[in-house]
Structure 1
Amino acid sequence: MYDASIWLNRSICNRKLNNLEDAATDAEIAQEIDPSNVKAYYNRALALQLLDKHDEALSICKKGLNTQSGNKALQQLKIDLQKSIAEAKAACPGELAPCPQGPVKAADALQKKDAPKSSDDVYEWKNGEPSEAERQGYKKAMVDMFRSKYEELKERAEAAKSKRSTLQTDHYEDAQKQSLQLSGGHRPMDRPDNVDLPADYQQPVGLLSAEQLSAYDAENANRRYLLSVYGNIFDVSDRPDKYDPDGPYASLTGKDLTWGLFAGVDTVEYTNKFYDLYKARDLGKDKLAGVCSWLAWYESEYGKPVGQLEPWSREAELPAPPLEEIEEMCVVM
C-alpha cells in the first residue's frame, strides 16, 4: 500500500486500541511514503509520547515542524513534551538513568484550528474528482481495516466474558467529546438478556428512502429499530436499552447518522443530512475514515446491513459538505 493516508489511519486505529508500537510504526511508514505529510509526524510523535519515549517524540516533533513550522498541533505537542522532559529531570536530579515518566494524555495535544475561515473555502478531494471505483475502493479498504480491528477487540472482550460493546467514547478525542450531548449515551452498556425481538428482526428491507426509514423510529409499535450509517441500514432491535423510547439514542433511531459521525456531533439536527463526503479537503479524508470506522463497528456489533438508504446510492450527485458545520480537528477518529 503506497497511500500514506491508509497507513496514517491504521496508526490512528492502532493508537485507539492501545497498540502503541504498531501505531508508531504505521505513522513512520506514512512519513516515509509522504515526507511532507505533517500528520504522519504528529501521529508518530503522539504514539511515542504515549510509550514514554519523550526524547524520541520530541525529535519527531521538531522534524515535523521543519516541514510545517506553523502547525498548531505539533507546536502544542512540542511544548507538552519539553515540559514533561523538564519535569522528569527536575524530579530526578543527578541520576544517570532517565526517570520513569507518566503518560501524557494524548488529547491534551490536540488543538482546535482557529484560523479564520474564508467564504471562498471550497471542499475538494485531495487527488481531484474520484471515480466510482476509487470511492468504493477507499471505502472498502477503510471498512475492512477497521472491521478486523474491532473483531479482534471483540474477541478479547468475549474472552474476558465481557458483554460491553467494543467501541465507546474513546473513539473521540477530548475536544470532540464536547460536541457529544446525548444524556446517558457514550458509556459502556451491558448487552441486555432475553430481549423480545420483533418477528422480522434482521430481515432484509431493501432500498429505503429517509422517510421510509423513519417508520422504524423509537416510537414504532413493532419495536423494530433501524438506523443508517453511510447508507447501510442496520437492525439494532436487539439493543432496546439504547434505541427504544427510553434509551439514550432514541432520538437517533430511524435516521441516518452519517453527517453527525462525520462532524463529531450527536444531536438530531445532524441526522438525515446528505452530502458527498468525497467533496472534502484533505481533512475530510480523515473524517471519512472515521465514518468508515463507525460503519465497521456497526457491522461488528449488529451484523450485516439489512438494507440501503437511497440518497447514498447517488452520493456523487449530492452537494458538498458545509464547511461551517464541521468541527475542524487535527486528527479525527
Structure 2
Amino acid sequence: MQKNICFILDHLGVGGVQEFILNYCKFVRGNSRVTVVSIFENDFYSERLRAAGAQVIFLTERPYSYAAVVDPRSFHAFYKFYRENSAYFDVVNLKLFAAFAYSSIMMLWRSPKISAGLDCNRCQLPFPIQALFWAFARHYQRFYLNALLWGDYAAFGLSPSRLRNQIYPVTRRESDTPKLYPKRFSFLSVGRGIPQKGHADALALFQLTKTLLDGDACLTIIGEGPAIDALRSAHPEGDLGNIAFAGSVDNYDDWLIGASGVIRMAVGEDTNSVIREAVLAGKLVATSLEGPGCRDLAERGLVVAIDRNDLPGSAARLATAVRGMNPEKSAELRLAAEALWPGEEAYRVYD
C-alpha cells in the first residue's frame, strides 16, 4: 500500500537536506507518494523533484531570511497549509528550523505522524536556534539525529525511546561534461557563506599548498553568503586567477568530477555530505577532524587530516597526497565509500 509522505522544509536552496530529499524521492518513486513543501521561494530543486515524481508546493513568494521567518504571514501560510492538508498525509517530516519553529508553535508534536530532526552538530546552530530545539525537540514522538551526535545533544533531554538514527546517504555525483580548470591541481571549498563553514581557513591552507605545488593549483569557492562576500572583497583579483568564487551552482556534479579534490574546514561539523560525495566520487578530501566520523575516515586513510594549528604541516600533507592521486587510489576511495554509506537503509527510515 502506498504511503503519502510529506517533507516540509524552509527552502529549496542548495543544501545537503535538499539533496537528501531529492534522493529520497528517486528511491521511493512508485512505492510512495511524496509531497515537498517549501515555506520560502528559494528554488534550485523543484524541477528535479517533480521529475523524480514529487509534488512540490511553495507556501510563500518571499525569499528565505530571518526577517521572513519571523513574518507572521509566513507562519500563517504554514498554518493554513497544514490545517487544510494534514489529513491527507501518513507521515510528515520537518526539515530545518523555520518548519520546526512553526510546528512547535502549533504543538504539532502531539500528532504521531509528525517527526522532526537535526542534521548538524550543535555548534553549527546559532544560540537562539539551539534554544528553540532545546525547548521543544524533546516533545516530538520521533526525532531524527545521527547516532554519532546523540551525545552532543545530551543536554536537550531527548528520550532514547523517541530518538531515531538519521543515516546519511550519499549522492552519487557523475558528469559527462566535467569542469575544466586552469591549473593542474584544482580544489573546491563548498558550503554556505557563513564563518562556521571555514572557507577562510580553506583559502589560507590552499595558499600554502599552492606554493608547494609550484603555483600550479587553483581553488574554487562554491556557495553564497556574507563570509564568502568578505573573501571576495579581500581577493578582488582572485590571486591572479588561482582563486574563483562560483556562487551557488546547479551543476555541482561537473565542478566536483572535474576537480582534483575538496578542502573542507567547517568548524565543529563532523562528516558531512561534501565529504561523503567527494570520497564516493573517488576524489581526495582534505578535512579538519571535527568529530568521530572524520577521525575514523582519517584512520582508514580515506581523507587527509588537516590541523588548524599547523597549516604548514597540513599543506605539506595535502600537496604530497594530491601529487600521489591516481586511478587506483580513486577506485579504492569509491569502494570504501560504497561500503561505509549504503543508501537503502537511510531512505527507509521515514516509511
TM-score w.r.t. length of structure 2 = 0.30
Larger strand proportion of the pair: 2
Higher helix share: 1
